[in-house]
């Protein structure tokens, strides 16, 4: 399932991120701000349950998450989408997946995999750029190998290439995928076009 997160304000933020003249400090700030807009939309799709609470004046009913949430950025670029989710879900657990792309084969190479206990939890995997989808597929494989069902995983990106979406859907058919833009294509170096360049480098200032 693909959910396209769209609004004029998100488009405005994307324009700043895409612009090659945007300095690293503004890029980082804008990415963090955009993460709040994305998180607000993604969290609408979680399941909630009714709960009872005591206000200063009386008992009343409210809503709580049906399952605990684990936020898992794919390093490095995934860190750029963490802030909004962490602020909205301060009690959420965190995990980290470290993958880099072999520039000869374009296949992912794992160097870190740390997640908390998985029972009865929803995993939100963050990676701004869904290009070939190879790293995303591998990240989901790692989480599923720990005992998590695909239906309990949500994948969140800022931009996606059609090739990456197709790959991710093929390998993980029940995965719920979120993105703000489906760009035109990948170039010969497997970068998203028009894209915004290397999100990790621009976010980290490297």
Q: Which domains are delineated in the chain?
A: 2-46+62-204 (3.40.50.2020)
Q: Identify the pLDDT of residue 118.
A: 80
Q: How far apart are CA 181 and CA 123, in angstroms?
A: 22
Q: Identify the pLDDT of residue 119.
A: 86
Query: pLDDT tens track of the chain, all 206 residues?
Result: 999 999 999 999 999 999 999 999 999 999 999 999 999 999 999 999 999 999 999 999 999 999 999 999 998 888 999 999 999 999 999 999 998 877 777 678 888 998 888 888 999 999 999 999 898 999 999 999 899 999 999 999 999 999 999 999 999 988 999 999 999 999 998 899 999 988 878 888 77
Catalytic residues: 101, 105, 198, 201
Q: Identify the pLDDT of residue 108.
A: 81
Per DSSP, the chain holds a count of helices (H) and strands (E) of 6, 15
Q: How far apart are CA 41 and CA 92, in angstroms?
A: 17
């Amino acid at each position: 399932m693909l959910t396209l997160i769209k609004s004029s304000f998100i488009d405005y933020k994307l324009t700043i991120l895409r612009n090659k003249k945007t300095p690293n400090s503004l890029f980082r700030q804008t990415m963090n701000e955009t993460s709040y807009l994305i998180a607000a939309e993604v969290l609408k799709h979680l399941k909630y349950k009714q709960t009872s609470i005591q206000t200063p004046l009386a008992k009343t009913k409210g809503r709580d998450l049906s399952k605990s949430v684990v936020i898992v950025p794919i390093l490095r670029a995934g860190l750029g989408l963490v802030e909004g989710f962490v602020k909205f879900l301060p009690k959420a657990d965190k995990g980290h997946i470290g993958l880099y792309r072999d520039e000869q084969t374009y296949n992912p190479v794992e160097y870190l995999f740390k997640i908390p206990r998985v029972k009865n939890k929803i995993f939100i995997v963050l990676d701004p750029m869904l290009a070939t989808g190879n790293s995303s597929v591998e990240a989901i494989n790692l989480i599923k190998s720990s005992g998590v069902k695909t239906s309990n995983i949500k994948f969140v990106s800022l931009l996606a290439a059609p090739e990456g979406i197709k790959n991710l859907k093929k390998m993980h058919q029940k995965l719920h995928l979120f993105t703000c833009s489906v760009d035109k294509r990948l170039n010969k170096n497997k970068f998203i076009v028009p894209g915004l360049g290397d999100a990790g480098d621009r976010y980290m200032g490297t």
